[in-house]
Each structure stands twice: as structure tokens, then as C-alpha cells.
Structure 1
Amino acid sequence: MESDGGQTVALLDRSGGDPDEEDQEVAGLAKRSWIESKNLWQIVGPAIFGRVALYSTNVITQAFAGHLGELELASISIANTVILGFNFGLMLGMASAMETLCGQAYGARKFHMLGIYLQRSWIVLFLCAVLLLPMYLFATQALLLTGQPPDLAAQAGAVSILFIPTHFCFVFIMPLARFLQCQLKNNVNAVFSFAALLVHLFITWLFVARLKFGLVGTALALNFSWLTTAAMQFAYVVGGGCTDTWKGFSLEAFVDLWEFTKLSAASGVMLCLENWYYRILVVLTGNLKNAKIAVDAISICMNINGWEMMIPLGFFAGTGVRVANELGAGNGRAAKFATVVSVTTSSVIGLFFWVLIMSLHDKFALIFTSSPIVIEAVDKLSVILAATILLNSIQPVLSGSESKLKNEEV
């Protein structure tokens, strides 16, 4: 349009916006992402390290058993992955309520409530552990009913009974880990888990390689390692490591137990299902022809998947804490942004492991076995394993965020 002076003046800038403003927005987003990543990794980094170290005790157990023989590997896999793993998944899911309640209490600076929630979780999980005992005591009969070969069911059932001490360790370890995590004390969890891993490696080598205790030695070593972890965590918390949040044992822990139980069950449903679905595959595999080889192959793949799964589960826990902290402080938008950053980071890591598995498809089984037949069977499953790892890098993180947001609404 012409002005009075005859000059043309642009009334509307159609260039799409000021480039400087766009650059500032990008820079602002990058800065927010960097700050959120640092906050997230303060929780997630030690959480992943601790979880990987703790899960490695199971991997070491099955690796030593695998080099004893095909039946031994299949038996420890059934006992560890199905019987112990089923109960682990249930109590892991129920303990996840601690992330919501403790995270929000910590964000709202109600520090004394963390100790109360911890004690309530112990009570609920202990009762749950007692109710689950028949799964260990009658494991042989249950496995026979699912179609497992008699020799495999008998040996796996005997090992399952030996795992009862580990079963009760879950009652203390899972709530304690989340209690420390919500206070940004994941470094403590990581140190204890790494110490337990070193102890487990030595004890397993001593019992199996030197003293020749065989399969019984692997189970006893695993019990000892989990007991060591539980004892270190308990001593740290009760002995003065958390003076702001642990005020001693209180009868207040028995208040609102039913409400706490319902929240624990609601928090754990998705995580339980995620944890259980692939354990059912091991049971189904036992019905195939050459059951020992099939169980060996699928359990090796699940061990690798479970090992890597500790990373997205670390993000699951870390995202839950970050979301709960922000919601406790009244920052809903920051909670959503924390979820986006966490999912993106976990996905990139999942893509890396997808490439790694595809590259080492015919070699990674050597950790667990020297049997050429089992190694070949694992190689055939490697593509499915790689795809599973990639998908699992996203779903648990989204579940963690969604459950915390729903619990906030409740």
C-alpha cells in the first residue's frame, strides 16, 4: 500500500515470523531440555546402574547354571524366571505406589510422611509375600499341571523352595529402594547394588566352581546376595542415613492400610502385566518338543531382554519421581515436559541396543552356554529379541508417567 509520500509500506509481514524470535524459542527449548535431562539423569543414572547391578546377580546365577548343563539351565530358568519372577513382578508393581506418594510428599516438603509410607509398604508387601508362599511350596505340582517335563518340573520345584529367602527380601528391598530414590539418594542404592553384585560373583564362584555345590550352590548364592542388599539398605535408613524422613517406627503406619493397598494394586497393574507376559512364554515353551533346549533358548533371550529392561525401568522410576515432584509443587506443564524428555532419551538408548543385538546375534548366547544347539536356537530368536527391546524402551516410561498422573487425579 502507498503512503502519502508515494512509498510502498508493507502492512503484513508474510515471511513467517522473526528469525531471531524463532532462534530464541529453539534455544529456550534446548535449554529446558538440557536442564530437565540433568534433573532426570540425577535420578535415572544411579537407578539404572543399581538395577543393572542387581539384575546381574540373576544373570550370573543362570550363567553358572548354564555351564553345568542343559537341564540345570532350564531348571534355574523356570525357577528364577517363572516362580520367583512372577512374584517379583507383583511386588515390584505394588511397591511402585511408593514413587507416587513419596515423590509428592517430598515435593510438598512433608518429609516425615516418607517414613510412614515406607512402613505401610513393608506391611502390605509382607502380607502379600505370605499369601504367595504356596507358589514356591507347590511349584513342582504347578509346573507339572502346565505340561513341563517331569525331570524339569521336579528340579525347578526343588530350586524354587530354596528361593523363599529371596522372595521375602523383596518385601524390604523394593520399598527401601523407592524410599531412597524419592530423596534423590539413588547413589546409595547404586553403591549397595554394586557391592552385592561383587559379593554374589565371589560367592557363586566359590559355591559352584570351587566347592562343587552345583545347582543348589547357585540358589544359595543368590539368597545371600539379596539378603546382603536388604541388610545394607535397612541399616542405612534406620541407622541415621535419612534423618529428615525416617523418624522411627510408628503406629501411624497401620492407619489407612486398606487405602494404601488399593493404591498399591492400582499402581502395579500395568507393570505386573508387562513383567508377567513374557514369563508365561517360558511356561508355554516347556510344552514344546525338546523342551530343555527350547526353555534354555527363550530364557537366555529373556535374560538379555531383562538386563536391558532395567534401563527403561530406571526411566519408569525416574519419570515417576520427576512427575510426582512437579505435581507436588503444582507444576503440571513441567511434569508433562519431563515425560517427553524421558521417553525420547529412553527410545534413543533402545535403538542403540537394537543395533547391538542385531550385530551380535550369533555370539551373545555364549555368556550362558557352550552348547552349539542352544546357541543356534538363540540366534534364530535374535530378531524378535531386538524388536522387543526397542518397543520396551518406550512403553514402561509412558506407563510410569500415566500412572502418576492418574494417582494425582485420585
Structure 2
Amino acid sequence: MILVEMENETKKHLLKKPTNSEESFDEEQKSLRERIWMENKKMWVVAGPAIFSRFSTFGISIISQAFIGHIGSIELAAYAIVMIVLVRFASGILLGMASALETLCGQAYGAKQYEMLGVYLQRSWIVLTLTTILILPIYIFTTPILVALGQDEHIAEAAGNISAWSIGVISAFVVSFTSQMFLQAQSKNLIIAYLAAATVAIHLFLSWLLTVKFKFGINGAMTSTILAYWLPNFGQIWFIIYKCPETWKGFSFLAFKDLWTVVKLSLASGGMLCLEVWYTTVLVLLTGNSENAQVSVDALSICININGCELMIALGFYAAASVRVSNELGRGSSKATKFSIIVTVLTSLAIGFVFFFVFLFLKEKLAYIFTQDPHVTEAVGDLSTLLAVSVLLNSVQPVLCGVAIGAGWQSIVAYVNLACYYLIGVPVGVVIGVYFHLEAKGIWIGMQFGIFVQTLVLIIITYRTDWDTQVEKAQNLIGKWTVEETQESHSNGTGL
């Protein structure tokens, strides 16, 4: 009887509107300048460290590619295929599934249900570990898979060796992605930036030591790469256990309860992000079947990596949008949610315009960071206009995806991605690339068109959303999960 009364009280407390009228009154008393300033401070607390840490993490791949590129062109092409196709395949699945944690932790933290975050984190570890085990055969049988897909045999053989090493990289993603989202939901991601910066410095030194000094070649470069992905994980776990007393209560048997609910949300999240991440993968695979595959893949991989560097800024705003939207929905403020979306999108777009003009005028000069091959640098220069357009689209599209994650729209955006990317972008790209003989350039044009259509659709969805209804949905979700945790805690006891 007492337990039933406690459950009813919990529901009443959680489903009660958190004084929205008072918050709205306070907001209206502030000038627009004050509101923008306050929102920017909240946004940059998340976006600043997220941008820096993503740059640092992305720098691990760039450093490895730079050293491998000076080993040989075949090794460079093989590394590009493994990292852009296979590792990105895994990161798309794992990061997508981990983004379910982003929604749950963000909304729970906004609702001040702090004890739920640690349980969510452990559930996500279980789901992602099982997923990693299921996809391992792809990395064991890489060479025959690539040959079957029409890749050059020499490149496929070299890629097989690199792919075996990359198993250590994808296993690191399980801890990395989930821990970052757990900390990010609490705006405690500054520690992630510190760890990432230290790791890049260590990786740069080890890459030089093992590939240049001791000349261990690919094996030396990949050893350093694996260490670079794992070192920050140990620091993040230590910080979670010893510096997050409100949200980490220790290991709990609750992590094994109701896993199917987490799996369903994770699958929706994974589907959304995988369709997006694999879009670039399709581009590389189609380019690998062109007449001059080695030059085309090298040039395209350089452009994608340069584009990826700028994308790290947009992904910082993606993280900020996700955290701000989920926190405000959990807090019960629809007006603050809408305002945070506007500020984040406009800030990211302004930065995107700056880089648009920078990349538009640098052209082939960008390629000399990675290679001295004149054929590759010329091909990069030919793709520079598309690179600049891609940068501009990147400044809006990822931020809107962050809004979707924060609101829990993963399933909706998965369908949008499927239609815009694979029913529009890829077919248009193939037609332009193959039938008009523009090869990599034509394929990229079509695929950028798909991203443009997707961006327009996401803008329309975001604009037409009833955010008061979204607040109610978030409150109901938090209420449901908290009641379940309360019942389980009373029946089975607390965590270990």
C-alpha cells in the first residue's frame, strides 16, 4: 500500500508542469540582448569543449593519415577506405545507438532526476558491447569483402591489414561515445577536451617515433592510433566514478532490467545516424570503381577529411543543440527550447559562412598537408568548390540533427535520411557521375543535393513542431522511467 502511494506521488510530481508560467514571465522581463547573451553562455559551455575535443579526436585520424600518406599511395588509399568506410560504418552504428543515451540523460538531467543517468549509462554499455561483437566479422574478412565490392586488389590487401588493427579502435568507441554523452548531458565535458588535447600530443609523438624514427610503417602508425583512442577512456571513467557523485551511484542490477526499451530507442537512433554516416561511405565506394581509382580515392579522402575538420565545429553545435533542447524539455520550458534552437543554428551558420569563403579560395593548397602527388593535388583543387558548399551545408544540417536527438525524433529523422540520401542523393550522384562522366565530382554533386533537401525538410519539421506537446512527451517519458526505477529499487535494493 505504501509503495502504491509513493508511486502515485512520484507520478504527480513528475507530470506536474514545472512552473512554466513563472519562467515565461521572468524571460519576458529580460531584453532580447540579455536573453541571447544568457543562451550563448549556456550553449558555449557545451559547444566550446565539444568542438575542441572533437577537433582533437578527429586529429588522431588526420595525424595517422598524414604519416601513412608518406609511407605510400597504396597505404594511404587503404587507410582511407578502412577509416572512411569500415571504421565509419562501426562509428555510425555505435554513435547512433549511443545517441539514445543523449536523449535520455539530457531530459532526465533537465528534470533533476540525477540518479537515472548512471543506470542509463550502464544499459548503453551493455547494448553497445553486444552490437560490437556482432559486427566483428566485417573487420576480420575485410580483404575478400572489398574485392567483392570491386576495389583494387592491392588496396584491398593493404586495407585488410589495417582493418585488423582497427578492431581496437571500434572497441574503444563503446566507452568513449557513451561516457562523453553522459558527461555532456551534465555540461561536464570540459574534462573530455583536456583528455583529448593530451592524447593528440601523445599520438603525434608516438606516430613520429614508430613510423619515422623506428620505421615500423603501418603497424607503428596503427599502434599509436589504438592507444590514442583508448587513453581518454580511462580518464573519463575515472572522472565519472569519482567526480560525478549525484549521477553515478555505482554499478547496479537495474542496468540489466528493461533492456529492450533501450534497444528500441538505440536502434532508432542508430538508424538515423547510420544512414547519414554511411552516405559518405557510399561516395567513397562509388569513387573506388572509377577509371583512376587510386587518385580519385586519395583526392576524395583528403577533401572528406578537410570537410570533417570543419564538421567538428558543427558537431560541437550539434552537441550543444542536443543538450540544450533535451535539458529544456526535461525542465518543461517550450519557449526556452525554441529560443535555444534559433541561437544555436544562427551561430553555427555564421561560422559556416566564414569557412565557406576560406575553402573556396584555398583550393589545391589544402592537399599539400597530406601528399605531394601533383595528380592528387590537382584533383583536390577541382573538388574545392564542392568542398566549400559542403562546409556551408554542414553548418546547419548537423545542428538540426542535434535538435532531433534532444527531442527524441530519431525514428522520424531516420526516414528523412533514407529518402533524401538514398532515394534522391545517391541516384542523382550516380547519374551525374557515370552518365555525364564527372566521376567523383558528379557523385559528390548529387549527394550534396541530397543533403540540401534533407536540410530543408529538417527546417520545416523543426519550424512546424508544437513544442508544448514535446514538453508533455518528455515529462511523460521521464515519469514512466522514474516510476519503474523506484519500484525496482524498493523490491531489489540499490546498486552495488
Q: Report if TM-score (shorter chain) is over 0.5.
A: yes
Aligned partner of 1:393 among 382, 392, 395 = 395
- 1:282–1:295 Cα contact (<8 Å) kept: yes
Residue 377 (str. 1) matches residue 379 (str. 2) = yes
Deviating more after overlay: 249-258 vs 271-280: 271-280
Give the counterpart of 1:69 among 67, 72, 91. Answer: 72
Q: Tell me whether 1:222 sits opposite 2:225 in the alignment.
A: yes
1:23-47 Cα offsets, whole Å, 9 max, x none, are xx99822221121111100111001
Structure 2 residue 56 is the aligned partner of structure 1 residue 53: yes
Q: Does 1:149 align with 2:155?
A: no
| Corresponding residue SS for 2:299 | helix
Q: How does 1:224-373 map to 2 (within 5 A)?
A: 224-238=227-241, 240-373=242-375
How far apart in 1 are the matches of 2:75 and 2:119? 43
Give the aligned partner of residue 463 of structure 2. none
Displacement of 1:227: 1.2
- Name the SS for the 1:354 alignment partner: helix
Residue 121 (structure 1) aligns with? 124
Q: Is the 8 A contact 1:270 1:399 kept in 2?
A: no
- Displacement of 1:221 in angstroms is 1.0
Q: Is the 1:271–1:396 contact (alpha carbons within 8 Å) kept by the matching residues of 2? A: no
Equivalent pair of 1:313/1:396 in contact (CA under 8 Å): yes
Are 2:209 and 1:193 equivalent residues in the alignment? no
Any unmatched runs of 5+ in structure 2? 1-27, 410-469, 478-496
Q: Which blocks of at least 5 consecutive residues in structure 1 are unaligned? A: 1-24
Max Rg structure = 1
1:371 and 1:230 map into 2 onto residues whose CA distance is 37
Deviation at 1:268, TM superposition (A): 3.3
Q: Is the 8 A contact 2:321 2:406 kept in 1?
A: no
Note if 1:160 corresponds to 2:170: no
Alpha-carbon displacement from aligned partner over 1:275-308 (angstroms, at most 9, x marks no partner)? 1101211111111122111110000001011111
Q: Is the 8 A contact 1:99 1:317 kept in 2?
A: no
Following the alignment from structure 2 to structure 1, what is the Cα–Cα distance between the partners of residues 408 and 175? 26
What percentage of residue pairs aligned between the two structures are identical?
47
Report SS of the residue matched to 1:185: coil
Alpha-carbon separation, structure 2, partners of 1:212 and 1:26 = 65
Q: Of 97, 101, 106, which aligns to 2:100?
A: 97
Structure with the higher helix share, 1 or 2: 2
Q: Report if aligned partners of 2:129, 2:174 keep a CA contact under 8 Å in 1.
A: yes
Asked if the contact 2:92–2:278 (Cα under 8 Å) also holds between the matched residues in 1, the reply is: yes
Q: TM-score, normalised by structure 2?
A: 0.76
Counterpart in the other structure of 1:21: none
Alignment partner of 1:79 is 2:82: yes
In angstroms, what is the RMSD of aligned CA positions? 1.5
Deviation at 1:403, TM superposition (A): 3.5
SS of the residue 2:124 aligns to? helix
1:43 corresponds to: 46
Match of 2:215 in 1: 212
